[in-house]
Structures are given as C-alpha cells and as structure tokens.
C-alpha cells in the first residue's frame, strides 16, 4: 500500500455545526489516512502497551472497557499489548497466546467493544514473540544466547522449529482476523525473537537463517510474508522495526534500510519505528529523554520507503505530535503511555481542551515498572488506567462540604476527583503554590515533565470550582469552625533530621534548601541518604548547562548517540563525559548494599549510570559519626573515614506530618481513632470518627511516609475520592 499524502483536512461537516478547533490547530494530526482498502480517521495511534490483563483471569472484559474508553475519545487506531503466537513466545506460563477458538472468543470482546464505541476506529493486535525474553522454560531463539535480562537460556531453533514458529505466526494472524481485528502489528525489535535473528550478537547460525545480513533478515521477512498470506488482503499489517537498536555492534543504517524495503515488499502496509533493545544501556522513553527525540530517524527511513510510517517515543502532547507530522518525520504518531495517562488525550486536542490533558510524565512507575515486575499496569497520574471497571468517580446525589488540607499530590488528587463528582471542596495549603513536593521534583534536571501534572491539577481546580486557600496553614479550630462534613488531611511529610553530632553545623543543608537553591552548595559535597531524593539531588548538584531532557543534542552527547551518522546501533560506544559541574560528589547510605536498588525497575539503572558518568562516588555501609569543620566523619566497613567536604546535604528520608491529624484526634467524646491498617481499603483511611464534628481522613505522606511515593499518594487519594 502506497503512502497517502499527508493533506491537512478541512471540515466537511455541515456549515451549521462549527468544526472542532483541533482541526485547525492540528491539521496534520487530524488528517485522515487512506490505506486504499481502509481509512484511518486521524494520525493519532494508541501504541502497544502490555497491561498484564492479557494473561489475567477475567482480564478480557477489563481490556475491552479500557480500549473502548480510548476509542470513544477519538483515537484513530489502537494497537493492543503483545499477544504471543504460541506458548513458548509468551511472557508467562499461563495464557497470553492466541492459538485457538477460545482465544478468538476472548479477543472478540475487545474488538467488539472498540468497534461499538466508534465504528471508524481501527484496532490491530500486536503479535509479540518474546524469543529469549520469554518467561517460560520452553523459550526459543536463533542461537542459545541468554539475554542479560532474560529469565532462562533459550533453546536454539532447528529447521523444524523455525517452520513451526513461522506457521504459528501465520495462524495467529488468521485468528486475529477471525477475532475481528482490523490488522496486526508484528514486533520486530526490542530484543524479542525477530530482532535476535538480525544481529550477530544473538544469531550465531551459519545456515540459511544466519551468517550474512541477507540470511539474518530472512526470518523476519518470512514472518511478514506468511502473515500477509494467512491473513489475506484488506487487513492491516504493520511491522515494528528497530530503526536504532542502541546496541554496540547492532544494526547498521544500510541494513535497516535493506530490511525495511524487504518487509515492505513482503506485504507490510505500515512501518513502525522502535528505538530500543530492552537491554541496551541507553534510556529511550524515560522522563530524562527529550520529547520526540528520535523521530528524525523515522523521517530518514520514511524517505527510503513508500508505505506510511509510524514514529514514537516521548510524544506526549498534541502539539508535539503535530510538529513531528508537520516536519515530515512520520505519517502517524504513536502515543502509548500518554493514552494510559489520559484516555481523552485526542478528543481534548480535537476540542481545544489541551490544558485539560493529564500528561504522561514518562516516570514508568505504574506502567513499565509494573509490566517488568509482573504486576498489572496502571498509571501514576491516572490510577484508573486499566481499572476502568473497578475504579470510577460517579456523580453524587447529595454533595458534601469537604475540606482538604495539603495541596500536594495526595490532596490534589483527592480534591479534584471529589469535586468532579460534585462535592463542594475547599483546599488549604500553607504554601504559596499548589504542588507540595512536586514543586521540588520539577526542579530536578530530567523531571521537568512533573510541571505538566501541576498544570493539569490547576486546570481541574478551575474547572470543578474548588475553593483554594493558599498561604493558609489550617488548624483544627479553623476546620471545626468551617462546618465541613468531612476533612481530608493530606499534610505530607517532614524531612528526617538524623541525630548526628554536628547536624547543626553550617555545612549541613537540608535537601529542600539544596533543591530550592536557598543555601549555597560547595565544591565538595557529601549526600547523606541515597533514596530517590538522594539520587535526584546528586543529579541536580552535578548538573551544568541545559538539562538533557530539554535538549536533544545534549541528550545525545550524554548517552553516546549519533543521530547524524548513525553508526551501528546508533551509538558511538564512547563513554561520554557529561558537562562537568566542577563538583566532587559522594552519595552515601548506611545499608551495606549497592546504591539505588529501590529505584524504579526500568529507570533505576539509567539514574545510576548517569551519576556514575558524572563521577559521583557511591558508597554503602556507612556509619555517620559527626560533622564538623573538617567534614563528615564516618566509619565505612568498620574503618574510620573522613569525607573532607564543605557541604553535607541531608536526604535521609521522611516522617509523616501529623500535627493537624493529632489536633483533630485529640481525645474527646464520640471519637475513635482508627489510624493505620490496609492502605488498599478506603474504609481503613478514616482517622477519626467524631459523632459531633466532621469525619476525618488521612492520606498520602501524612498517613505513611515510609516507602511513600507519588504513585501511592495519588492512588490512595483517588480510591478515597471514588467512595467519599
Ligand atoms: P506533599 O507533597 O508533601 O504535600 C503536602 C502539602 O501539605 C504541602 O504542600 C504542605 O505545604 C501542605 N501542608 C502541610 N501542613 C499543612 C497545614 N497544616 N495546612 C495547610 N497545608 C499544609 N515521587 C514519585 O513517585 N516519583 C518521583 O519521581 C518523585 N520524585 C521526587 C523528587 C523530589 C525532589 C521530591 C522531594 C519528591 C519526589 N517524589 C517522587 C515524592 C513525591 O513528591 C511525594 O511522595 C508526594 O509529593 C507525597 O504527596 P503528599 O500529598 O502526601 O505530600
Ligand atoms: P527513601 O527512598 O526512603 O530514602 C531515604 C534514604 O535515607 C535512604 O538512603 C536511607 O538509607 C537513608 N536514611 C534513612 N534513615 C536515615 C537516618 N536516620 N540517618 C541517615 N540516613 C537515613 O526516601 P527519600 O529519598 O527521602 O524519598 C522519599 C520518597 O519519594 C521515596 O519513597 C521515594 O520513592 C520517592 N521518590 C521517588 C523518586 C523516583 O524517581 N521514583 C525520586 C525521588 C523520590 P540508609 O538507611 O541505608 O542510610
Ligand atoms: Fe506515563 Fe508514568 Fe503514567 Fe506510565 S505511569 S503512563 S510513564 S505517567
């Protein structure tokens, strides 16, 4: 299928109905795409995200609701999470493969829900054969090469095994068509089966499936040919190619072009670009990656092919998508995580409500970290994602007057959702701005996106008419006088101040002051505490020049990517020096283990690597003894050690701030404190039942500071808002 011209669409609607504003604002994004045998209503694609529901008991009705909600909101095409063509290619022992009539019946729930929601929306099933990344002992690969992140050593395929895999791909595509899908996407990247045929590192064969590149690409090309043959014409076949695999010794540009042309000739309708192998040591989708950093590579490949191209990676707002399309980098834009964060992203763009988009901040905390941790996927900023049938915010018949104290993530999540349901909400914060600790997080280089969440909440405050009282430290008397029906205490935390001799020394700086820049930081710095905040502070004080997240050239330099010359894998192999800050920084913790083990599963390695490249020393097993003019006195591994530093930044964790909660729970008649208990149960959130006064709830850091993060604070608040 030849590429249709990307013609901006003018309204063809009746002159009496004004066209949605988005058609003018995003003419490329809302231009339809004619594939000849079918037509996509716009260029906004919901990219593939594995949710965990594919394998879960009773997961398909939930998947159907999840996709239908996005289909109702104007997305042009949806790609499902990866479905294996056979058990050996799957992520788990149970389910997840489409091999029979039972599977077809399950998948019909999804396709019917999407087409019922909007007949114009297309849905394609991604066929994902995990190869050496499959999480079952029957896994297969071109050669017995275990992936660095794989669970088992794969079995090398023999000729019969290869024939079986090809037949399974073909059967899977035919079954997908029976199930009502409009097409399939074959994933040929990321370290999954097809991509492991392509590079010598994982393909050590010398038969017709290995050796020179023409042989190594035979398997993926044959998969496409067999899928096309089995599914027949009039069915969308998308191939996802690694346009930059980020591997040293990975694919060369001419190999990528050769492969892409062969895939096109084998019958693919659309080419989608991917930029990773999961084990490659370059971040490609985390929040430290600039928006749309990779799309120019798609643009270069687009010039070599005739079929339409999809691009992706860190495209999280409509204006970014529009710019990518307008400069000719692609024909379609894939947004996967952004559609978890906001199911209505496309319709909000269409109707000029961009400021209401709940933007994906690329944290990975509730999506990819869950996928790779074997948990169901959701979203940090939208805990309802993938929980559409179980977490809802119905309008209330009898609105209550609710006071929310604390405009951090917990208070904001609760206040905006409760007000959306119709409650009358007053929101108090002692600070001059809403945001709580997110006001600090957004100052960290690589976390600039956190500002988008605050913009979203601010807009929700306006939209739902929340009465906001900034610069107001609420106390019990004020709240009692306010005659509220319920009070939600979301007062957050206080930083822990370790009881170490010399903690009052002028060289000691709390992390809040370090982040706000309200105290000078010297050239030789020790950071006490290596949790998420310790790592963030280390990134901040070693930063010099523009943040890599805001500048693709800086990002490329920091991570050794060469977008222009595109060496093998796209990477130079040179360990780049990040712009020197001139500071010597040492990150310390008491636990005698590697630092950063509790950071995100899919991003922790990048944070560790980024700091190591800036020369940050990381030391565990430290006992803090004293701080004085000489520096920080410690024992490390039992031996005395002095860190001769001029600044000690304290990032030693947090304690719940419960002053207000304690005031409200002061003993009195008819009051029962029920603090504590199971965080997942809203009933357990009640701090205090007071027969004569308001009912009081405690959420977020104020409820529990240990292992608190924004994901937990926001989700806990959302669950309470759903039931209050
Ligand atoms: P807070 O954010 O602490 O908000 C509490 C609010 O209550 C404050 O605004 C305070 O002014 C107000 N308040 C307190 N007492 C009163 C009173 N009596 N009256 C009125 N107002 C009052 N989490 C993640 O999940 N991912 C991250 O990447 C991440 N990065 C971070 C980076 C940094 C630098 C920091 C500091 C934190 C980061 N966090 C991150 C943690 C996350 O921000 C917190 O878990 C989250 O903010 C907790 O939300 P909260 O609403 O419970 O409390
Ligand atoms: P944290 O992750 O609990 O880390 C606290 C650090 O302080 C640890 O290194 C701990 O290690 C040390 N510590 C604890 N008690 C101490 C004491 N008495 N004296 C000296 N050191 C002590 O907490 P955080 O870094 O303050 O972060 C707060 C929350 O925000 C965390 O739960 C985190 O998940 C979240 N956050 C997340 C991210 C992210 O990227 N996902 C980023 C920032 C913050 P030792 O006890 O071994 O010394
Ligand atoms: Fe985006 Fe974070 Fe939500 Fe994942 S959890 S979709 S990365 S905001």
Using a 6 Å cutoff on CB, does residue 365 contact ligand 1? yes
- 559: tokens are 């991570």
Specify the pLDDT at position 10: 42
Strand partners, 627: 632
Q: Are strands 77-83 and 508-510 parallel, antiparallel or unpaired?
A: unpaired
| Residue among 440, 533, 549, 620 whose CB has most ligand 2 atoms within 8 A, to mutate | 533
- 266: tokens are 């084998």
Specify the pLDDT at position 2: 57
Q: What is the distance in A from the centroid of ligand 2 to the CA of 408?
A: 18
The number of the ligand nearest the C-alpha atom of 600 reads 2
Q: Please provide the average confidence, as pLDDT, over all residues in the chain.
A: 93
Using a 6 Å cutoff on CB, does residue 446 contact ligand 1? no
Average pLDDT of the segment spanning 605-632 = 97
Chain-centroid distance, C-alpha 490: 25
Does the structure show a pLDDT above 70 at 691? Answer: no
Atom number of ligand 1 nearest to Cα 659: 18
Does the structure show a pLDDT above 80 at 522? Answer: yes
Specify the pLDDT at position 4: 54
Using a 6 Å cutoff on CB, does residue 407 contact ligand 1? yes
Using a 6 Å cutoff on CB, does residue 495 contact ligand 1? no
Q: What is the distance in A from the centroid of ligand 2 to the CA of 652?
A: 6
Q: CA 624, CA 641: separation in Å to the nearest integer? A: 10
Does the structure show a pLDDT above 90 at 692? Answer: no
pLDDT-derived band at 604, boundaries 50, 70, 90: very high
Specify the pLDDT at position 95: 60
Q: CA 313, CA 282: separation in Å to the nearest integer? A: 13
The number of the ligand nearest the C-alpha atom of 540 reads 1
- 324: tokens are 């990518």
pLDDT in tens, 17-43: 667 999 999 999 999 999 999 999 999
- 236: tokens are 């969308």
Specify the pLDDT at position 630: 98
CB 540 within 8 A of CB 443: yes
Q: Give strand ranges (E) for 26-143.
A: 33-34, 39-40, 44-46, 77-83, 122-127, 140-141
Taking CA atoms only, the protein residue closest to ligand 3 atom 1 is 360
Q: What is the distance in A from the centroid of ligand 2 to the CA of 284?
A: 26
Using a 6 Å cutoff on CB, does residue 604 contact ligand 1? no
| Residue among 449, 528, 532 whose CB has most ligand 2 atoms within 8 A, to mutate | 532
CB 541 within 8 A of CB 580: no
**678 or 478, which is more confident:** 478
Specify the pLDDT at position 74: 96
**What strands, in cross-sheet order, belong to the sheet with 631-636?**
622-628, 631-636, 639-643
- 240: tokens are 């996802």
Q: CA 401, CA 405: separation in Å to the nearest integer? A: 13
| Poorest-pLDDT segment among 190-194, 362-366, 676-680 | 676-680
Specify the pLDDT at position 667: 60
Specify the pLDDT at position 249: 87
Q: What is the distance in A from the centroid of ligand 1 to the CA of 319?
A: 29
Half-sphere exposure of 498 (CA within 13 A, CB side): 22
- 31: tokens are 């231009």
For residue 701, with 0-12 CB atoms within 10 Å meaning exposed, 13-18 middle and 19 or more buried, which class applies?
buried
Q: CA 95, CA 131: separation in Å to the nearest integer? A: 16
Specify the pLDDT at position 670: 42
Q: CA 145, CA 249: separation in Å to the nearest integer? A: 16
Does the structure show a pLDDT above 50 at 168? Answer: yes
DSSP 622: E
pLDDT-derived band at 91, boundaries 50, 70, 90: confident
For the ranges 294-303, 475-484, 663-672, the maximum mean pLDDT occurs at: 294-303
**372 or 228, which is more confident:** 228
Half-sphere exposure of 152 (CA within 13 A, CB side): 19
Q: In the annotation, is 192 catalytic?
A: yes
Nearest Cα neighbor of 678 from 657, 647, 704 is: 704
Q: Which of 192, 239, 456, 624 is catalytic?
A: 192
Q: What is the distance in A from the centroid of ligand 2 to the CA of 373?
A: 21
Classify each residue of 399-412 as buried b or exposed e, where b means 16 or more C-beta atoms within 10 Å of its C-beta.
ebbbbbbbbbbbbb
DSSP string, 245-274: ---TT---HHHHHHHHHHHHHTT-SEEEEE
| Residue among 312, 343, 380 whose CB has most ligand 3 atoms within 8 A, to mutate | 380
pLDDT in tens, 294-330: 999 999 999 999 999 999 999 999 999 999 999 999 9
Using a 6 Å cutoff on CB, does residue 711 contact ligand 1? yes
For the ranges 14-28, 134-148, 321-335, the maximum mean pLDDT occurs at: 321-335
Using a 6 Å cutoff on CB, does residue 473 contact ligand 1? yes
Using a 6 Å cutoff on CB, does residue 413 contact ligand 1? no
Average pLDDT of the segment spanning 405-428 = 98
| Residue among 496, 511, 531 whose CB has most ligand 2 atoms within 8 A, to mutate | 531
Atom number of ligand 1 nearest to Cα 409: 51
Taking CA atoms only, the protein residue closest to ligand 1 atom 30 is 441
DSSP 494: E
pLDDT in tens, 95-109: 689 999 999 999 999
Specify the pLDDT at position 537: 98
């Amino acid at each position: 299928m030849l590429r249709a011209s990307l013609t901006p669409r003018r309204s063809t609607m009746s002159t009496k109905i004004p066209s949605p504003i988005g058609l003018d604002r995003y003419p490329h994004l809302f231009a339809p795409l004619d594939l000849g045998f079918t037509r996509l209503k716009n260029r906004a694609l919901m990219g593939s995200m594995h949710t965990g529901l594919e394998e879960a008991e009773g997961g398909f009705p939930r998947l159907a609701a999840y996709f239908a909600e996005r289909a109702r909101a104007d997305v042009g095409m949806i790609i499902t999470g990866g479905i294996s063509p056979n058990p050996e290619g799957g992520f788990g022992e149970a389910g997840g493969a489409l091999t029979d009539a039972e599977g077809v019946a399950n998948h019909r729930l999804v396709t019917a829900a999407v087409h019922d929601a909007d007949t114009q929306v297309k849905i394609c099933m991604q066929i994902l054969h995990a190869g050496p990344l499959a999480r079952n002992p029957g896994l297969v690969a071109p050669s017995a090469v275990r992936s660095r992140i794989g669970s088992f050593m794969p079995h090398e395929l023999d000729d019969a095994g290869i024939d079986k895999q090809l037949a399974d791909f073909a059967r899977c595509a035919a079954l997908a068509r029976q199930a009502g899908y409009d097409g399939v996407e074959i994933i040929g990247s990321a370290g999954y089966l097809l991509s492991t045929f392509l590079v010598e590192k994982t393909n050590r064969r010398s038969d017709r499936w290995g050796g020179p590149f023409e042989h190594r690409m035979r398997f993926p090309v044959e998969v496409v040919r067999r899928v096309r043959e089995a599914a027949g014409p009039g069915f969308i076949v998308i191939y996802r190619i690694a346009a930059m695999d980020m591997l040293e010794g990975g694919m060369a540009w001419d190999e990528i072009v050769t492969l892409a042309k062969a895939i096109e000739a084998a019958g693919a309708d659309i080419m989608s670009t991917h930029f990773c192998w999961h084990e490659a040591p370059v971040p490609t989708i985390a929040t430290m990656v600039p928006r749309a950093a990779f799309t120019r590579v798609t643009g270069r490949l687009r010039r070599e092919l005739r079929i339409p191209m999809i691009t992706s990676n860190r495209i999280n707002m409509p204006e970014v998508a529009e710019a990518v399309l307008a400069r000719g980098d692609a024909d379609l834009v894939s947004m996967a995580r952004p559609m978890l964060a906001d199911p209505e992203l496309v319709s909000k763009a269409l109707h000029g409500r961009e400021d209401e988009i709940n933007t994906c901040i690329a944290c990975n905390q509730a999506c990819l970290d869950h996928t790779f941790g074997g948990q169901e996927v959701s979203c940090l900023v939208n805990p309802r994602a993938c929980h559409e049938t179980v977490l809802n915010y119905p309008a209330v018949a009898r609105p209550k007057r609710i006071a929310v104290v604390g405009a951090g993530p917990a208070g904001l999540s609760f206040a905006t959702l409760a007000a959306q349901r119709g409650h009358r909400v007053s929101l108090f914060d002692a600070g001059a701005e809403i945001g709580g600790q997110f006001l600090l997080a957004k100052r960290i280089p690589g976390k600039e996106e956190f500002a988008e969440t605050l913009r979203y909440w601010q807009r929700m405050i306006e939209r739902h008419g929340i009465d906001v009282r900034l610069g107001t430290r609420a106390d019990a008397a004020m709240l009692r006088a306010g005659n509220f029906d319920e009070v939600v205490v979301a007062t957050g935390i206080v930083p822990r101040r370790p009881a170490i001799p010399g903690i009052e020394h002028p060289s000691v700086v709390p992390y809040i002051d370090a982040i706000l820049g309200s105290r000078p930081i010297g050239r030789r710095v020790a950071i006490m505490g290596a949790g998420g905040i310790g790592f963030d502070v280390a990134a901040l004080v070693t930063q010099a020049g523009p943040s890599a997240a805001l500048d693709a050239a800086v990002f490329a330099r920091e991570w050794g990517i060469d977008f222009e010359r595109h060496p093998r894998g796209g990477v130079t192999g040179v360990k780049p020096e990040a712009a020197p800050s001139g500071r010597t920084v040492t990150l310390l913790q008491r636990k005698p283990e590697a630092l950063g083990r509790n950071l995100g599963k899919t991003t922790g390695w990048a944070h560790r690597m980024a700091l190591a490249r800036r020369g940050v020393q990381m030391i565990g097993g430290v006992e803090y003894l004293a701080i004085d003019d000489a520096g920080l006195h410690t024992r490390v591994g039992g031996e005395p050690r002095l860190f001769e530093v001029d600044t000690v930044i304290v990032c030693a964790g947090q304690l719940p701030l419960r002053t207000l909660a304690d005031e409200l729970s002061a003993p009195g008649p008819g009051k029962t404190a029920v603090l504590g208990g199971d965080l997942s149960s809203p009933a357990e959130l009640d701090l205090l039942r007071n027969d004569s006064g308001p009912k009081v709830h405690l959420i977020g850091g104020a409820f529990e500071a240990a292992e608190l993060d924004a994901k937990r604070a926001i989700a806990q608040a959302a669950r309470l808002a759903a039931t209050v």
